[in-house]
Amino acid sequence: MPERIKTLASKHRGLVVVSVIMAIVCVIWVLPVAAVILNAFKWNTFVKTDTFALWNAENFAGWSNFITGVTFGNYNFWLAAWYSTFITIVSTFLILLFCSMAAWYITRVDSIWCKIIYYLCIFSMVVPFQMVMFTLSSTADQLKLNTPWTIPIVYLGFGAGLAIFMFVGFVKSIPVEIEEAASIDGCGPVRTFFFVVLPMLRSTLISVGILEIMWVWNDYLLPVLVLDINQYRTIPIHIQYLKGSYGTVDLGATMALILMAIIPVIVFYLACQKYIIAGVAAGAVKG
Partner 1 sequence: MAEVKLEHIEKIYPNSEPTKKRKKKGDAPERKSNLKITDQGVVAVEDFNLDVADREFVVLVGPSGCGKSTTLRMVAGLESITNGTLTIGGEVMNDVAPKDRDIAMVFQNYALYPHMTVRDNLAFPLKLRKVPQAEIDQKVDEAAEILGITEYLDRRPKALSGGQRQRVAIGRAIVREPKVLLMDEPLSNLDAKLRNQMRAEIIKLRKRINTTFMYVTHDQTEAMTLGDRIVIMKDGVVQQIGTPQDVYDHPHNIFVSGFIGVPQMNYFDARLTKEGDDYKVELDGVTVDLDGEKERVLRERNVEPQDIILGCRPEHISLDKVEGQMITGLIDVSEMMGSEVHLHLDVDGKDVIVIVPSADVNRKHGAGSLDVGQHLDFTFTGDVLHLFSKVTEENLVY
Distance spanning both ends of the chain, measured CA to CA = 44
Contact flag: residue 128 with partner 1 (CB under 8 A) = no
The distance of closest approach from Cβ of residue 103 to partner 1 in the complex, given in angstroms and rounded to an integer, is 18
Q: Select 53 or 198, whichever has its Cβ closest to partner 1.
A: 198
Q: Are 38 and 56 in contact (CB under 8 A)?
A: no
Contact flag: residue 184 with partner 1 (CB under 8 A) = yes
Find the binding residues for partner 1 in span 137-176 (CB under 8 A).
175
Q: Which of 36, 86, 191, 269 binds partner 1 (CB under 8 A)?
A: 191
Find the binding residues for partner 1 in span 65-84 (CB under 8 A).
none
Q: Are 223 and 236 in contact (CB under 8 A)?
A: yes
Q: Which of 74, 188, 230, 248 binds partner 1 (CB under 8 A)?
A: 188
DSSP character at residue 192: I
- 149 membership: H or E segment, kind and range: none
Contact flag: residue 178 with partner 1 (CB under 8 A) = yes
Q: Select 89 or 187, whichever has its Cβ closest to partner 1.
A: 187
CA pair distance 137, 267, nearest whole angstrom: 32
The distance of closest approach from Cβ of residue 75 to partner 1 in the complex, given in angstroms and rounded to an integer, is 45
CA 208 to chain CA centroid, Å, is 9
Q: Which of 183, 244, 273, 285 binds partner 1 (CB under 8 A)?
A: 183
Beta bridge partners of 7: none
Q: Select 136 or 197, whichever has its Cβ closest to partner 1.
A: 197
Q: Which of 25, 60, 141, 180 binds partner 1 (CB under 8 A)?
A: 180
Alpha-carbon torsion (49, 53, 56, 60), positive or negative: positive
DSSP character at residue 155: H
| 76 residue type, one letter | N
Q: Select 187 or 265, whichever has its Cβ closest to partner 1.
A: 187
3-state secondary structure of 164: helix
Q: Which of 177, 190, 246, 248 binds partner 1 (CB under 8 A)?
A: 177
Find the binding residues for partner 1 in span 193-232 (CB under 8 A).
195-196, 199-200, 202
Alpha-carbon torsion (239, 245, 246, 250), positive or negative: negative
Interaction site with partner 1 (CB under 8 A) = 175, 177-178, 180-188, 191, 195-196, 199-200, 202
